[in-house]
């Protein structure tokens, strides 16, 4: 069988699957599951075209990894065939640990288990199945590999993961401000002292990249309607878990039921292979299938919020630069309690406060380094002549309150 395939991608055109091992990993059920997990969770409630998946994104990131490594090889950096393949595998599988609705339910279905940790567990399981063929890719993914720039291409403030999701999310939402010139950035990459740098003539492309990231967070990832839908989804899962804990029957698919019945920790993932296997059987369809059934559950909160999500009858939400005044919160509480069939114990599900933050560039985490014409290396904030780059380092915090303004819960 010919395993060197070409995939037609709407963002980049043709993507090459370069080795039989990469083909086999893409064909594996763990990776195929990503077809059923949307990249942007509930963003299609705002942008109807945002239906692309983690499957699309990982393939696109793998393509950009190919382009990045080819650019470095062209500049004389020695990259072996084994390293070239391993770099592609590491980025291809970097999101394999995402659960249903990606980031939205990461701390609701699981007990604060980062998806990166599950990705690593699944990569190690695949490594066992493929008789050690993923060992180098795992070292690159974890940062253990001596040539650190491979890890920086996989996970840093200028990695191919971010480059792909900005372009892909921009394409599918139609928010053109998120588009970046990834091709030019990749061609400007270089390596100095085993660290990834960007040649000085690419500095304006980096500035555009950081600005695009800031704008995409406000316009897409932190859009107030997305926050509202995500908050409602979280309340539905919390209510289902609470009912199950109290001994009530709540429908679930077999795999999803394991995570509704118990808060699974990372230690449990590591100790019980059955839990990891159950996780790989879950995707967005488990959650939506349950929500459709829950819309007719006797519990007024579970059924009411489920039906609102299905019909896109979303909560009201207000964003503020300052914490929401207590007087305003009291007014909302009084209004909710004046509705038929709403009681004080219902309020935590019908009125939710929180905050969001947005920072395009955090230099204390890991610098984006610019290679100057005199071969010096400077942080982008120092090398740029634009004051906006320093401003992009500021963390902007906003507060929100969302509540069920126009909802009347029905008794069963």
C-alpha triplet 58, 39, 355: angle, nearest 5°:
125
Confidence grade of residue 184 (pLDDT, cut at 50, 70, 90): very high
Q: Are 18 and 10 in contact (CB under 8 A)?
A: no
Distance of alpha carbon 44 from alpha carbon 246, whole angstroms: 34
pLDDT of amino acid 412: 53
pTM of the model: 0.94
Tokens for 5?
Answer: 């395939």
Helix, strand, coil shares, percent, the chain, to 5: 55, 10, 35
C-alpha triplet 243, 271, 241: angle, nearest 5°:
10
pLDDT of amino acid 70: 97
In order of start, what are the domains of the chain with their CATH numbers? 6-93+134-202 (1.10.3210.10)
Centre a 10 Å sphere on the Cβ of residue 67 and count the other Cβ atoms it contains: 18
R_g over Cα of the chain: 23
Q: What percent of the chain has pLDDT over 70?
A: 97
Strand order in the sheet with 195-199: 189-192, 195-199, 369-371, 377-379
Q: Decide if pLDDT at 137 tops 70.
A: yes
Task: Write the pLDDT tens digit of every residue in 85-106.
Answer: 999 999 999 999 999 998 888 8
Tokens for 45?
Answer: 């409630």
φ/ψ of residue 226, rounded to 5: -65, -45
Tokens for 64?
Answer: 């950009």
Q: Decide if pLDDT at 370 tops 70.
A: yes
Q: Decide if pLDDT at 358 tops 60.
A: yes
Residue range 118-144: average pLDDT?
97
Specify the residue for token string 């995570």.
259
pLDDT of amino acid 143: 96
Q: Are 51 and 2 in contact (CB under 8 A)?
A: no
How do 369-371 and 195-199 pair as beta strands? parallel
Q: Please name the residues in contact with 391: beta carbons below 8 A apart, sequence gap of 6 or more.
A: none
Q: Please name the residues in contact with 30: beta carbons below 8 A apart, sequence gap of 6 or more.
A: 96, 122, 125, 126, 280
Beta bridge partners of 358: 396
Confidence grade of residue 408 (pLDDT, cut at 50, 70, 90): low
pLDDT of amino acid 381: 78
Task: Write the pLDDT tens digit of every residue in 306-349.
Answer: 999 999 999 999 999 999 999 999 999 999 999 888 999 999 99
């Amino acid at each position: 069988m010919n395993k060197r395939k070409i995939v037609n991608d709407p963002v980049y055109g043709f993507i090459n699957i370069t080795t039989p091992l990469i083909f086999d990993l893409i064909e594996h059920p763990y990776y195929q599951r990503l077809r059923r997990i949307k990249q942007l969770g509930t963003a299609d409630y705002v942008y109807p075209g945002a239906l692309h998946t983690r499957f699309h994104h990982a393939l696109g990131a793998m393509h950009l990894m190919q382009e990045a490594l080819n650019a470095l090889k062209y500049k004389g950096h020695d990259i072996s065939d084994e390293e070239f393949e391993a770099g592609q595998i590491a980025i291809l599988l970097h999101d394999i640990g995402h659960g249903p609705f990606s980031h939205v339910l990461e701390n609701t279905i699981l007990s604060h288990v980062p998806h990166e940790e599950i990705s690593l567990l699944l990569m190690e399981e695949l490594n066992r199945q493929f008789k050690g063929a993923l060992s180098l890719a795992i070292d690159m993914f974890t940062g253990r590999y001596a040539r650190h720039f491979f890890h920086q291409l996989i996970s840093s403030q200028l990695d191919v993961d971010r480059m792909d999701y900005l372009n892909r999310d921009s394409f599918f939402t139609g928010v053109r401000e998120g588009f970046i010139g990834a091709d030019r950035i990749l061609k400007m990459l270089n390596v100095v002292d085993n660290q990834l740098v960007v040649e000085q003539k690419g500095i304006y492309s980096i500035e555009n990249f950081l600005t695009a990231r800031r704008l995409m967070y406000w316009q897409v990832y932190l859009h107030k309607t997305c926050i509202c839908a995500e908050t409602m989804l979280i309340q539905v899962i919390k209510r289902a878990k609470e009912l199950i804990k109290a001994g009530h029957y709540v429908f679930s698919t077999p795999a999803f039921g394991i995570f509704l019945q118990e808060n699974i920790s990372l230690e449990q993932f590591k100790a019980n292979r059955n839990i990891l296997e159950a996780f790989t059987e879950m995707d967005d369809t488990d959650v939506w299938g349950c929500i459709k059934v829950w819309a007719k559950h006797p519990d007024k909160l579970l059924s009411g919020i489920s039906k609102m999500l299905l019909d896109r009858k979303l909560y009201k939400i207000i964003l503020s630069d300052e914490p929401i005044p207590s007087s305003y919160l009291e007014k909302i509480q009084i209004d909710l309690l004046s509705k038929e069939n709403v009681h004080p114990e219902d309020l935590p599900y019908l009125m939710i406060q929180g905050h969001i933050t947005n920072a395009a560039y955090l230099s204390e985490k890991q610098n984006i380094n610019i290679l100057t014409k005199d071969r010096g290396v400077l942080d982008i904030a120092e090398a740029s002549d634009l004051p906006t780059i320093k401003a992009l380092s500021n963390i902007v915090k906003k507060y929100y309150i969302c509540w069920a303004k126009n909802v009347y819960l029905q008794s069963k």
